[in-house]
């Protein structure tokens, strides 16, 4: 266990659905990240939160909406997704926003029909 | 921005043999290089890292070497075991600033009995 949990582990949704992914870290870190992992591609950083403020948004479509209510929780709200959004979504946390020594959760396997 | 290339994409070795995975990076200012192991159904786990003031680091059967001049670093696994089978990712970052980890595309390592 890395101290980072994600729910749900698997999610199947239609293009018109609205769903949310949840991440929780028990490490006392103050930076949290969302990554997208697709086959044969490097991990793609989507969002970075530091001290509950969004500090980076890597040109992610607006159908992905992050929320960080406190330093231990991170959400990714999904709506009107496309089939190409199907991927493994990983949450990570680190002590500082330097990005080093990131600890990853197990991911949510998302399938968009 | 930083670009990380990783080779090979797949690697098959016999149990007990050594495995070597190589990465190159483009930003000479990068100073932290972690390696992650991702097993099926899990998120990436940090297994070893190296900072730019060190040329080599070893932890039991795994070691990492760094050549700053050539801008490449390698992961070495000796006496491979079936449980070493996984996808391995290299990454690089310039720590201390608002930078992000840049990941390689991953190497699928298979250790055959």
Phi, psi of B34 (to 5 degrees): -95, 155
How much is the pLDDT for A51?
A: 79
Cβ–Cβ of B43/A55 closer than 8 Å?
no
Confidence of residue A50 (pLDDT cuts 50, 70, 90): confident
- Nearest CB to A42; choose among B43, B45, B105: B105
pLDDT in tens, B12-69: 999 999 999 999 999 998 999 999 999 988 899 999 999 988 899 999 999 999 999 9
Distance between CA atoms of residues B53 and B56, nearest Å: 9
Rounded-to-integer distance, Cα A112 and Cα B9, Å: 27
To test the contact with chain B by mutation, choose from A56, A101, A102, A109 the residue with the greatest count of B C-beta atoms within 10 A, namely A102
- Backbone region of residue A52 per phi and psi (left: phi > 0; alpha: psi in -120 to 50; beta: other values): left
* pLDDT average, residue stretch A94-112: 85
Once rounded to an integer, what is the mean pLDDT over residues B89-113?
87
């Amino acid at each position: 266990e890395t101290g980072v949990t994600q729910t749900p582990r698997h999610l199947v949704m239609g293009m018109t659905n609205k769903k949310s992914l949840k991440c929780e870290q028990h490490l006392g870190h103050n930076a949290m990240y969302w990554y997208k992992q697709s086959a044969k591609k490097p991990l793609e950083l989507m969002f970075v939160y530091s001290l509950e403020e969004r500090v980076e948004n890597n040109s992610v479509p607006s159908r992905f909406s992050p929320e960080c209510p406190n330093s231990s929780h991170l959400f990714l709200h999904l709506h009107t997704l496309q089939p190409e959004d199907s991927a493994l979504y990983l949450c990570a946390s680190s002590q500082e926003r330097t990005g080093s020594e990131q600890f990853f959760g197990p991911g949510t396997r998302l399938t968009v029909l | 921005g930083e670009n990380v290339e990783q080779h090979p994409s797949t690697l098959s070795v016999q149990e007990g043999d050594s495995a070597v995975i190589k990465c190159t990076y483009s930003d000479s200012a990068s100073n932290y290089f972690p390696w992650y192991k991702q097993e099926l159904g899990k998120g990436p786990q940090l297994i070893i890292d190296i900072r730019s003031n060190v040329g080599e680091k070893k932890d039991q059967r795994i070691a990492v070497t760094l050549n700053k001049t050539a801008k490449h670093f390698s992961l070495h696994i000796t006496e491979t075991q079936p449980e070493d089978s996984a996808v391995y990712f290299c990454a690089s970052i310039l720590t201390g600033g608002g930078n992000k980890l840049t990941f390689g595309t991953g190497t699928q390592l298979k250790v055959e009995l």
